[in-house]
Chain A
Amino acid sequence: MSFIVRKSLRALFSIVFIVTAIFLLMRLAGDPALAILGPDDFPPAVLADFRALWGLDQPVWRQYLDYLANAATGHFGRSFVDNRPALTVVLERLPGTLFLMATALIITLLIGVPAGIIAALKRNHPWDVAVSGAAVIFQATPNFVLGIGLVLVFSVWLRLLPSAGTESWQHVVLPAITFGASNAAIFARFVRATLLDVLRQPYMLAAAARGLSPRILLLRHALPNAGLPLLTILGFSLGGMVAGSIIVETIFAWPGVGRLTATSVGFRDLAVIQVVALFTMTAMVLTNLAVDLLYTVLDPRIRLSGGPR
């Protein structure tokens, strides 16, 4: 129990720290009034009124305390751009991003894990060379290059799939592949390496000596042991997906939190950016907490030692 409490307190501290850092950085990065209204389009009096309206004329520490007090009651401010609650603006976009990320995660697991297993079981075989080579290429290719390349081939040349929008299931294919390809490559390489390590363990030889078939060896001994480190990389990959969503959603005009973040940063829409940061941090911290807890459930060695430190 103390392990869960310790991890939860650390998670809470991480969230407060990051939200504070983003609050300060966004206010030090430039005047939102100038970013939204433009210095040349409005007289100084209008700019001053704008600052007064949104409380931007207050000292930063005062703004921060007001923000914390409001956040504690569930009020995260209003969007500068359309004057709606920032939480509502973000929540409207959240399902789109979650759907895209879930689809990408399915692609990652369906392609990355089997590819890694095949590469490990067929080590030094042409299958291994093909999987490892493809994994290196996809891991090294930036999201925006892959996304634009896919649009060029499948939307412009072949006219098979739409390049933007959300109207049908076909619209999710290209962004999900763009999202999932590099993660699948990372998973394939990671699964290959961990599985090869497990296959070399003496208990695998011992299991073979007891007459276990290769299939049972793989399912009962190799994969469960190789799968544990996979949990860690699954947690890490969420961070990469959040960052990647900004690029992928912008390329494919996907109405999600990533695209909202890009436009909100451009307009210095502070309240929206802070809600996005809070959501992102909370999701990442909760994922890592879940991974830590799953470790203790799945790995008896960690359970015995009182949890990972």
Chain B
Amino acid sequence: MPDPILSLRDIEKSFDVRSGHRLRSGADTRQRVLKGVSFDLAAGCCLALVGESGSGKSTLARIIAGLIRPDRGDVVFDGHRHSDRRDRQARLRLHKTIQLIQQDTRGALDPRMRVGDQICEAMAIHRIGTRAWRRTRCAGLMARVGLDPSLAVRHPGSLSGGQRQRVLVARAMSLAPRLLVCDEPTSALDVENKGMFLDLIQTLQREGGLTVVLVTHDLRVAVRLADRIAVLHQGSIVESGATLPVLRHSTDPRTRALTAHLRSGFPSSDPVPASLGQAS
């Protein structure tokens, strides 16, 4: 593997089950969500984090995005440790280079702000360009993700789920990030919008050399986008590697159970089960 742009080393995370706060003391209410997760990801690659609900995928995504701190271990992105980014400027650089796209397209947008303002806001915070330049770039970004720029004056509630998802992509891309963390980005979309979203991410990856971490429980999405896959089970990576070989030739019973379960949900005409081979 070429030099990794993203490295995770022994990431551990626990939550207090009662309040959701990080546990500071006491063992009886502690739930370990991540148990020593480590992996490397090369620049321009797409890694799919798959696993059943509660396996720790979303927590891992937020740790990679620098939104929560691990109890142990560290994330190194582009040569900089997350734990070293203590001052405001360092945190700003982190949030400029890593962007997060969330699952809930309605909830991820402030209902009171026009979508154009939300796309421009991040650029303003990072002091990128003048106000007029940001407006122009906003229109350009909206066009690039397949949205009519005139929608910039609308509020999120008046857009469809697919349009809101595109706004999220445009907003994330406004900072020209090097790493995009997508947390279940297609789970709330219909088949048509899901296909358009995956095409869009592939195009951005191909044209901009974007590195992508994709959290999903949809194996078809993983097969379509990801070069590499890591299977999470109860907070640990039980298997990882190139996507299709892992899914086809896995010997780990937890991975096989996951792929068998996902295969069973595919229609007979779906090309993904064929690419995976038959479950045994």
**Chain A residues close to B by CB (< 8 Å):** 124, 201-203, 205-213, 216, 220-221, 224-225, 298-301, 304
Contact = CB atoms under 8 A, between A and B. Distances in A.
Contacts of B96: 211
A205 B121 contact: no
B158 to A, nearest CB: 6
Contacts of A207: 110, 121
B155 interface: yes
Interface in B154-168: 155, 157-158, 168
Interface centre among A203, A209, A298 (most CB of B within 10 A): A209
B122 A210 contact: yes
22 contacts: A201-B107, A203-B107, A203-B108, A205-B62, A205-B102, A206-B100, A206-B168, A207-B110, A209-B95, A210-B99, A210-B121, A210-B171, A211-B94, A211-B122, A212-B122, A224-B112, A225-B111, A225-B112, A300-B111, A300-B112, A300-B157, A301-B111
Nearest to B174: A210
Given A203-B110, A304-B158, A208 B102 contact: no
B86 interface: no
Contacts of B121: 207, 210, 212, 220
Nearest to A228: B112
Interface centre among B99, B108, B168, B175 (most CB of A within 10 A): B108
Interface string B102-121: 11100111111100000001
Contacts of A213: 88
A124 B21 contact: yes
A221 B19 contact: no
B262 interface: no
A285 B222 CA distance: 57
A212 B100 contact: no
B169 to A, nearest CB: 12
A206 to B, nearest CB: 5
A299 B112 contact: yes
Nearest to B99: A209
Interface centre among B91, B94, B122, B175 (most CB of A within 10 A): B122
B108 A202 contact: yes
Nearest to A301: B157
Contacts of A211: 91-92, 94-96, 122, 125-126
Contacts of B113: 221
A216 B125 CA distance: 9
Interface string B128-167: 0000000000000000000000000001011000000000
B17 interface: no
A209 B107 contact: no
A201 B99 CA distance: 17
B221 interface: no
B196 interface: no
B11 interface: no
A104 to B, nearest CB: 30
Contact of B109 (A124, A203, A299): A203
Contacts of A201: 107
A210 B173 CA distance: 11
B117 to A, nearest CB: 10
A202 B104 contact: yes
